[in-house]
Structure 1
Amino acid sequence: MASDHYFSSRPGGEATLRTITVTLAGRELSLATAGGVFSPEHLDTGTRILLDRAPAPPPSGELLDLGCGWGPIAISLALRSPDATVWAVDVNERALDLVRRNAARLGISNVNAVLPGDVPDGVRFAGIWSNPPIRIGKPELHALLEHWLPRLHDDASAWLVVAKHLGAESLQRWIAEELDLDVERTAQDKGFRVLGVSAAASAR
């Protein structure tokens, strides 16, 4: 795997900044991206579908963007829910730097862009959004979801977007069977599935 792959904590190569224009939370924004992060040239289709098809975030509480990249989900959540605290989590330090740059550019103060280990253990989430890094492999992906999904509040939901050809249906079954969480396909578009995940009814 290339050293500058976006799963790397410190991607190789220079972080040459570029500016792209995207529409988030109903606003046209100019945001910074760079090589070595996921989809640096445009807002990828899966993330766009997730933002368009998942329900609006709650107005307050702790919200998680898991695998934030350069920050489109985190920024959208922060703009739509200015009274919430948004945690933008990624292993890629270049991605976290871009999230911080973009939040500062927009005057957003409610985003914490941090490494996974920097989220306090006691934080539980009123919502989780993720275009999860499927290509890291099943063991790593499952470990990631095992760590974060149980940190939802009992009445909260997570929203995941996964391409059908990358295993959306098998992931849906795994979440239900191995994590004992309620999971359903809530939308599908352009080969992607949006999965809504919540605490199993028996656990409420």
Structure 2
Amino acid sequence: MTSKGAHYFEERPGAAARPGTVDVVLPDLHLRLATDSGVFSPDRLDPGTRILLESVPAPPQRGDLLDLGCGYGPVALTMASRAPEATVWAIDVNRRSVELTERNARSAGLDKVRSIHADEVPPDVRFSVIWSNPAIRIGKPALHAMLTRWLDRLAGDGAAYLVVQKHLGSDSLQRWLGDNGWDTTRVASRSAYRVLRVAPRPAPGGAGPTPGDASPLGGAANDEER
């Protein structure tokens, strides 16, 4: 991995500031977001993220929603725009990403976005929905630990939507999820990306979703550059 790519996974990126903006233009909204170096896809809306946002069903209008690996906030702010009464948790291990998402939410007047480090989410929060463009290139052990931690915090009737490139292992990830108890289906396929819907897995004894573990978040989103 290049030093540029490594910045995405650092808690405090060492890259010199290079502020910019990205326009997120979707059929139902237009957001202009501040970006910077040391975060994921600072020069454009990542194509996988766009496909995710154009493919997922509308989020629940209330409850707790999760953007797993928020970057500078395009997913979290889209969630909050589409579900203004819901609480949107925008999380990342990258502090610069967290700060940018907080600033962008404030500028957009989306006051129910909570942009925080992954380790700061209260342990009792359960999510009605998770949207994520997960960091495939962190490697399978870290990826699986990250997904286990957060998928096991889905509410019993919740669902996660993950976008993954085919050549970065979308099919093998779908198999791994199914083999580990999460009912996973492909709900969209476009431009070599797959959008997977993941249902909560039952807890031992059938008592509902299992609690999350203490694994790290592991980073932000993925695309062909990562």
Query: What's the TM-score bracket when you normalise by the shorter of the two chains?
Result: over 0.9
SS in 1 for 2:152: helix
Does 12-21 or 156-165 show the bigger shift?
12-21
TM alignment of 1:76-155, pairs within 5 A:
76-155=78-157
Give the structure 1 partner of residue 187 of structure 2: 186
Q: Which has the higher strand share?
A: 1
Percent pairwise identity: 52
Give the structure 2 partner of residue 157 of structure 1: 159
1:198 equivalent to 2:202? Answer: no
Once the 2 structures are TM-superposed, how far is the Cα of residue 24 of structure 1 from its aligned partner? 4.6
Contact 1:37 1:95 in 2 (8 A): yes
Contact 2:162 2:195 in 1 (8 A): yes
Counterpart AA for 2:187: T
Once the 2 structures are TM-superposed, how far is the Cα of residue 13 of structure 1 from its aligned partner? 2.1
Give the structure 2 partner of residue 9 of structure 1: 11
Once the 2 structures are TM-superposed, how far is the Cα of residue 181 of structure 1 from its aligned partner? 1.1
Contact 1:86 1:110 in 2 (8 A): yes
Does 23-32 or 77-86 show the bigger shift?
23-32
5+ long unaligned stretches in structure 1: none
Once the 2 structures are TM-superposed, how far is the Cα of residue 23 of structure 1 from its aligned partner? 1.4
**Distance between the aligned counterparts of 2:29 and 2:188, measured in 1?**
23
Contact 2:65 2:127 in 1 (8 A): yes
**Distance between the aligned counterparts of 1:201 and 1:115, measured in 2?**
27
CA displacement 1:67-95 (0-9 Å, x = unmatched): 01010000000011011000001000000
Alignment equivalent of 2:55, drawn from 53, 56, 61? 53
Size of the alignment, in residue pairs?
203
**Distance between the aligned counterparts of 2:110 and 2:202, measured in 1?**
36
**Distance between the aligned counterparts of 1:29 and 1:115, measured in 2?**
23
5+ long unaligned stretches in structure 2: 209-226
Contact 2:130 2:159 in 1 (8 A): yes
Contact 1:24 1:76 in 2 (8 A): no
Once the 2 structures are TM-superposed, how far is the Cα of residue 100 of structure 1 from its aligned partner? 0.8
**Distance between the aligned counterparts of 1:29 and 1:65, measured in 2?**
17
Give the structure 1 partner of residue 173 of structure 2: 171
CA-atom RMSD, angstroms?
A: 1.5
**Distance between the aligned counterparts of 1:107 and 1:25, measured in 2?**
20
SS in 1 for 2:8: coil
Instruction: Calculate the TM-score normalised by the size of structure 1.
Output: 0.95
Once the 2 structures are TM-superposed, how far is the Cα of residue 25 of structure 1 from its aligned partner? 6.7
Does 191-200 or 23-32 show the bigger shift?
23-32
Contact 2:9 2:94 in 1 (8 A): yes
Pick 1 or 2: higher relative contact order, CA cutoff 8 A, min separation 6: 2
SS in 1 for 2:187: strand
**Distance between the aligned counterparts of 1:172 and 1:10, measured in 2?**
31
